[in-house]
Structures are given as structure tokens and as C-alpha cells.
Amino acid sequence: FFEAQEEVEDEDVEERISAVSGDEQEPSGQEKLVVKELIVDNAEKKESPTLEQQNLIDYERQVRRYLAEGLVSTYDQAELVVKLMELEFDKELSVSAANECSSLQSALTYLQQECQLCTGKYPMNQMVSMLECEHRCCRDCALHYFTLQITERNIADCVCPFCKLPELQTTDPDRALDYFSNLDIMLKGLLEETVHELFQRKLRDRTLMQDPNFKWCVKCSSGFIANPRQKRL
């Protein structure tokens, strides 16, 4: 088989040389070698894609794989995932940004939010927004700030670290109660369990102390609601 293939190749070489030279003389060994190298080189170009073509093939495979895995719902979103990963964002963050954004620029903005406390860059899903204003900070800064306010200070100090809103000391009681209810929901997914439980106890005590009929026991740490008509306890 190999001998037959070589004979065919030799015949092809001779035909190529004759076509180029335009004469019927027997080609030299050097001429045969040069033309054979040209034939092999052309064949390799046809069989093997260029680096640019291979990169395009790999890119297309990645896009279709993420789409097939169901990580995103459209081809454009899958493309966005690949582009973000090429910029060295990890897969999870890239998928999250692709599902939230419609362009590369908006995705980069989504993934590079600045914490106004530590000035670090974080993705949007790792940022915490304050409840009564537009200020935001990263989860680590929010965790540290609210933990300190709850464990070392009064829960009335659990306000925005930037603008100090809302002003709970002068806020309507019903509005303050709404604020603390929403804050409790936010802190539950942020704080350690023991710190969150301490917040709930302090919030309970604060609510009870606003009741004029609530009295603390003088002999223990418990309290009770006194009958307003009862003059002696």
C-alpha cells in the first residue's frame, strides 16, 4: 500500500514539475523534494486549522456547551459567559452576570461594584444595600459593622454607617418597627446565628420598654405587663 502511495505521489510530483517548468525532461531529485514539500504543506493546511481558526472552534464549543448545560437560556448569554471567563472571572460569577446583564460592559459593572467602606471591588450579589438610603457596602464590611453595633452598642445604632439614616430616636414608632422588621430579615442571612439571636432579644426588649405598662422585675432579669389600674405591684 505504502509503495503504491509513494508511486502516486511521485507521479503527482512529476506532473506538478512539468506543469510549472513546461518541459518533458526528467525532474531532478532536488526538484522532486521541493515540490513534494509544497504538496505536504498544502495538505497540512487543509487538514489542520490555523491557530486563529482553532481558537474560534474552541470558543464556539464553549458557548454551545454552556448553553447545552442549561446554565443560560440564550446563545448571547452563553457568549457573555465565555467572554467574562476569558477576562479571568470564575465560572459561577460569569454565569451570574450573564443572567443579569445584556452586554459585556454592563456585566463588568455588575461584577466590579465598589464597597464604599473598604473601597474593594465585589460582584453585585456580594453587596449589601442599606434600607433607607442608596448607600451600599460589601458583605464583609456589613457583617463587621452590624455585629459591632449589636454586641457593643444599642440596636438603635443599627443604621446606615454613612448617613446614619433612619434617625430612630425621632422616627415614628410604627415606622421604626417596620424598619427593624425589614432589618431583621436582612440580618438573618448576614450575621452569625448567636449575634442575630442577640439582635432579636434586644429588639424584643426595646419594643416592651416602649409600652408604658411594662415593668422590669427588681429581683431578676425578667419583666411583665402591669395592669394600669393596679396601684401596687
Nine-digit cell at 198? 442577640
pLDDT at 173: 87
Q: Is 52 exposed, middle or buried (0-12, 13-18, 19+ CB in 10 A)?
A: exposed
pLDDT at 4: 42
Calculate the alpha carbon distances from 227 to 202, 209, 213 in Å.
24, 15, 7
The sign of the torsion formed by the CA atoms of 164, 169, 174, 177 equals positive
Contact 147, 157 (CB under 8 A): no
pLDDT at 13: 47
pLDDT at 19: 53
- Please list the ranges in the chain whose pLDDT falls under 70: 1-47, 211-216, 218, 221, 223-233
Helix (H) or strand (E) holding 200: helix 193-209
**33 Cβ contact partners less than 8 Å away, ≥ 6 residues apart:** none
DSSP E strands, the chain? 113-114, 121-122, 127-129, 136-138, 214-216, 223-225
pLDDT at 23: 52
pLDDT at 150: 98
pTM of this prediction? Answer: 0.67
pLDDT at 86: 95
- Preceding amide of 161 cis, omega within 30: no
pLDDT at 158: 97
| 106 vs 98: CA distance, rounded Å | 9
pLDDT at 50: 83
Calculate the alpha carbon distances from 37 to 10, 42, 176, 179, 195 in Å.
12, 9, 85, 80, 76
pLDDT at 24: 53
